[in-house]
Structure 1
């Protein structure tokens, strides 16, 4: 049978980037040809995102653009499950949501290697489409402010030294060891039901990878000389709770496997409630400077709003813990997200979020204005905050991050 030409592209998160890499392997193992240009393809595979409205619109725009090519378009990823009614009203094309990705075999029944048998990817796919976060005026202002505010602070210089050591392996790695970061996907799906989020409908419930599989993947990568790892999942800290294990057990087994080696871990998307549950285990590795980066989405600085969001933690406990991490390792990179204008949020409660951001002074922040959408629990919470007020609050966030000189800040 003649090989088909396949073009793969994605516009989503790192988890979907790993899915895209695994899809690449799937087609290669079934003797298909991967092409760089969509106009050359017999099949265009688009892995979509819908985490925020801009990503939904970006996905729709990409679909419209791909309709002009002769190849059949197949839409995968989270968007079809996050905005199902809108998607189906606009398009009549083949699609699968993330939780059903293994069903792709039905689209290619002649393939001998099934998707479930394809090894997990350890590198994100490179063919990524970005959407515009800033308008041109905002982008220009951002650059001008960066030039005006830049200074050789102690924090900046320390970060430079740390980054150089990590990337170049200076005084860290031995000959033959590699500086590249490799990803280990430990689980899919989510245990939480955050009120503002539609992603769970796309990714499904928690499904942890067997502990032995995780450890064997880790050992294989260590044997290849890799020492820097991004530990990733849709709901990272929930790992193991569906298979009678735990995130703490995973860390212990990983640390046993790399004994005597100078390894570094990055934690991607760590719900604060799990951070509190495993705080002693995590603190130990932070203090050892083994954990060098944590993404922990705090979402709000106010406990009443967090309760409405179905976020089960006390924000004050989380902030104190993260400050303890920073004291144990001043070079740790802390990344977080927050939502502004969640339904019923008062000005005082919004100010609690500003105070939280100022106190933590994270290295990287993504701040979102609340957007209502179909199927999310917060759709039924009233009253809603007007878009005018949300934009006013986002402007206040911008002013604060400008004052703090936050190295990486995305506000939209």
Structure 2
């Protein structure tokens, strides 16, 4: 029996899909990349914004009625009744804490054969360590490791606490076991995952996130260690010191600001001010001059004035992010912001989004032009599907580089940058040891 997994959303969802694939393959089912040939289609859903949520309903509605359809993930957890109302052909709703039961759920569907709909969406407060070793990875270069799930912050706009539950933290030894397993398999990069990844702790061992990073950098034989997504309110000088100590910890941080206005940050229930956010960046750059940042921004938040938006633009100018992910505010049911009065027109919101993205495009082009003529270290991630003979790679600061190479994915090489654009670089592979700029 064949199964197909359609994944929407963040890296946490990608990792959950890897876990479900691993479980079902161990059960004897076969993964297929062609949904048309699949007997079972699993939709791993995202509820962060309205648009990706609507895509899920649209996709499920297009699937043939003879397929077994399972909806998993955040939309399944938060909108279970709505899913069944809109598409009665769906066989099962699987919440964010039940993915490890996917084998039993498939058994239940196949045994009954009466196409009766089932729902499993209960929150589980303790960490569930159900997967001993995951071979079903979407990438053979970068290995994801979930170290925590859920969120206790309840930002006013965010559905995550309602879709993923409260924070739960994976034990230190289990994290290290998976990291060692990935290193042994030849992975060059490990990416630690969590909604508030830098708030991880192991209370039994009296360990914090800084301790985990310090130990992992010393013991695990990989080139780069990254972590996403971090929360600005949980940074301290200890974490900065650990990152400065280990070159292995990539000098690039995803550092979501959401807004440049302290007034809007307060309405969002973010526990930091604009000044505190900038102070953390200042302290990082003092200890690690070559560090770079990416960020998330929401425009058109309820109550956002023209001045609030100007403060966001000025923050982006001041920090000069490597890249940003920016969106128009999307109301989410269950959140506090859902009930806030929203007077801004869609036209104004779209204009603000355009201005923000255009500013960032200019910043990225300027930053990339500074690399022209320099040689950078690049991790090859795979072939370029649009240009035969080309490969795609990433620098330590997550810049995308296109070039020709006979070297395969997962290898590091040197590339002389010859052409630049706002979103990618192009160059040629050069021999020898890396020297000079490695951004």
Give the TM-score taking structure 2 as reference length.
Answer: 0.72
Alignment check: 8 A CA contact 1:206 1:242 kept = no
Equivalent of 1:314, from 273, 277, 299?
A: 273
Name the CA shift for 1:265/1:280 in 2 (closer, same or farther; >3 Å).
same
1:102 corresponds to which residue? 100
CA deviation after TM superposition for structure 1 residue 392, in Å: 2.3
Secondary structure of 1:405's match?
helix
1:238 corresponds to which residue? 199
Name the CA shift for 1:122/1:271 in 2 (closer, same or farther; >3 Å).
farther
* Structure 1: tracts of 5 or more residues without a match: 127-178
* Structure 2: tracts of 5 or more residues without a match: 110-127, 369-398, 400-421, 424-439
2:234 corresponds to which residue? 274
1:393 corresponds to which residue? 352
**Cα displacement string for residues 171-209 of structure 1 (whole angstroms, at most 9, x for unaligned residues):** xxxxxxxx9322222111112201101122111111211
In 1, Cα distance between the equivalents of 2:54 and 2:273? 34
**Cα displacement string for residues 312-363 of structure 1 (whole angstroms, at most 9, x for unaligned residues):** 1122222232244345445434210011111111111111111111111111
CA deviation after TM superposition for structure 1 residue 231, in Å: 1.4
In 2, Cα distance between the equivalents of 1:247 and 1:38? 40
In 1, Cα distance between the equivalents of 2:153 and 2:83? 25
In 1, Cα distance between the equivalents of 2:6 and 2:78? 19
In 1, Cα distance between the equivalents of 2:296 and 2:154? 17
In 2, Cα distance between the equivalents of 1:106 and 1:223? 31
Alignment check: 8 A CA contact 1:10 1:46 kept = yes
Equivalent of 2:163, from 202, 210, 219?
A: 202
Alignment check: 8 A CA contact 2:217 2:246 kept = no
Q: What aligned pairs does 1:11-50 form with structure 2 within 5 A after superposition? A: 11-50=8-47
Higher strand share: 2
Alignment check: 8 A CA contact 1:191 1:238 kept = no
In 2, Cα distance between the equivalents of 1:372 and 1:59? 17
2:336 corresponds to which residue? 377
Q: What aligned pairs does 1:51-66 form with structure 2 within 5 A after superposition? A: 51-66=48-63
In 2, Cα distance between the equivalents of 1:358 and 1:120? 44
Name the CA shift for 1:348/1:110 in 2 (closer, same or farther; >3 Å).
closer
Secondary structure of 1:316's match?
helix
Secondary structure of 2:265's match?
helix
Using the TM superposition, name which of 331-340 and 348-357 deviates more: 331-340
In 1, Cα distance between the equivalents of 2:267 and 2:79? 22
In 1, Cα distance between the equivalents of 2:285 and 2:79? 39
CA deviation after TM superposition for structure 1 residue 124, in Å: 4.8
CA deviation after TM superposition for structure 1 residue 45, in Å: 1.1
**Cα displacement string for residues 254-280 of structure 1 (whole angstroms, at most 9, x for unaligned residues):** 23424xx574221211011112xx333
In 1, Cα distance between the equivalents of 2:200 and 2:245? 22
Question: How many pairs are equivalent?
Answer: 347
Alignment check: 8 A CA contact 1:287 1:329 kept = no
Alignment check: 8 A CA contact 1:361 1:404 kept = yes
In 2, Cα distance between the equivalents of 1:123 and 1:319? 40
Equivalent of 1:87, from 77, 83, 87?
A: 83
Secondary structure of 1:73's match?
strand
Secondary structure of 1:36's match?
coil
Equivalent of 2:177, from 212, 216, 224?
A: 216
Alignment check: 8 A CA contact 2:323 2:360 kept = no
CA RMSD of aligned residues (A): 2.8
Using the TM superposition, name which of 297-306 and 33-42 deviates more: 33-42
CA deviation after TM superposition for structure 1 residue 282, in Å: 2.9
* Higher relative contact order (Cα pairs below 8 Å, separated by 6+ residues): 1
Name the CA shift for 1:39/1:116 in 2 (closer, same or farther; >3 Å).
farther
Q: What aligned pairs does 1:114-125 form with structure 2 within 5 A after superposition? A: 117-119=130-132, 121=134, 124-125=137-138
Alignment check: 8 A CA contact 2:20 2:99 kept = no
1:76 corresponds to which residue? 72
